[in-house]
Amino acid sequence: MKGDALYWFLARGLDWLIWGGELVNPGDLPEEYPVVFISNHAAALGPIAVTASLPIRVYSWVVADMLDFAKAPEYLRKDFVEPQLHIPASLSLRVSRLISLASVRLLRAVESIPVWQGDQLPETYRLSVEALVRGRSLLIFPEDPKQEMNELFMMTPFYKGFTRLGEMYYERTKMILRFHPLAVHPRERRIKAGRPIQYNPYNDPIRERIRIKRILESAVQELYLSISLEGRAGIPLPH
C-alpha cells in the first residue's frame, strides 16, 4: 500500500538523518497485535526515534492542529521551531510555514490519527478503535505538557484519556487490549520496551483508567532509568 511504503521510507530516512539509535531489546516486543504503544515524548525526538526503531508499522496519535494547513504553522512555531530549533521570533513563523508544507502532507499520508479536544474528542476514539479493529497498532505519547517536568526521567505526568481505548475496544470486540510501554533515551540513543499492561474489563472503569495510567507512567520511568544506569555502568542490566 502507498501509505505503508511511504511510512517505511520515512522510518529509514529518519533513522539515517536524525535518530541513528537502537531498540535494545526487540525480543521483548509483543508477539501478537494490535497493541497500543505508550512512550515518553523526549521533546521532538520521541516520535522520530520510535518510528525509526520499531520493526512494525504503527499509527500515531497527533495533535489535530498538526494535520491542518491553517493551524500547523502556529503550532509548530510555539511547540518546536522557537523552543527546540531556537529560531528567533522574527523568523520563526516563516520557518514554521515552510516546515508545515511538508509535515502536514506527510502526517496525513501515513494516516496519523488526529487528537482533538472538547466535543471532537470522541472522533479521535472512534478512529482509534476502528484502526485497532483492523489490526493496526497505535503509538501514543500521553505526557501532559502543562505539568511540571521530572528532571530525573525527563518527562511530565501522563494524561489518562488514552486508557479509555481499553474499554472501548473491549465493548466493540470483547477482546483484551494491551498497552505496551516504551522509553526513549535521547542521550544514550536507545529505546527500551517493557512488559505489556492489559485492560481489565472486570474492574471499575474509572479505577481501571487510573490503574493503567499509573502503571504505564511508572513503567516508562523505570525503563528510562535503566537505560541511564546501563549507560553509566557501560554494561547491560538484566531485563
Residue 18 CA to its chain's centroid (Å): 17
Per-residue pLDDT reduced to its tens digit, 50-75: 999 999 999 999 999 999 999 999 99
Q: Is the pLDDT of residue 234 over 80?
A: no
User: Minimal CA–CA distance to 196: which of 26, 54, 29?
Assistant: 29
Share above pLDDT 70 across residues of the chain, in percent, rounded to a whole number: 95
Q: What is the CA radius of gyration of the chain?
A: 18
pLDDT at 84: 86
Q: How far is CA 5 from CA 8, 155, 162, in A?
A: 5, 32, 28
With cell 544514550, the residue in question is 188
pLDDT at 239: 46
Strands 58-63 and 137-140: parallel
Question: Which residues fall within 8 angstroms of residue 220, CB to CB, at 6 or more apart?
Answer: 38, 39, 40, 153, 155, 181, 182, 183, 194
pLDDT at 3: 76
pLDDT at 228: 94
Cα–Cα distance, 99 to 73 (Å, whole number): 8
Cell output for 13: 530516512
**Residue 137 host element (H or E):** strand 137-140
Per-residue pLDDT reduced to its tens digit, 76-130: 999 999 998 899 999 999 999 999 999 999 999 999 999 998 899 999 999 999 9
Q: pTM for the complete prediction?
A: 0.92
For the chain, domain boundaries: 2-68+120-233
SS3 26: helix
According to DSSP, residue 29 is labeled: S
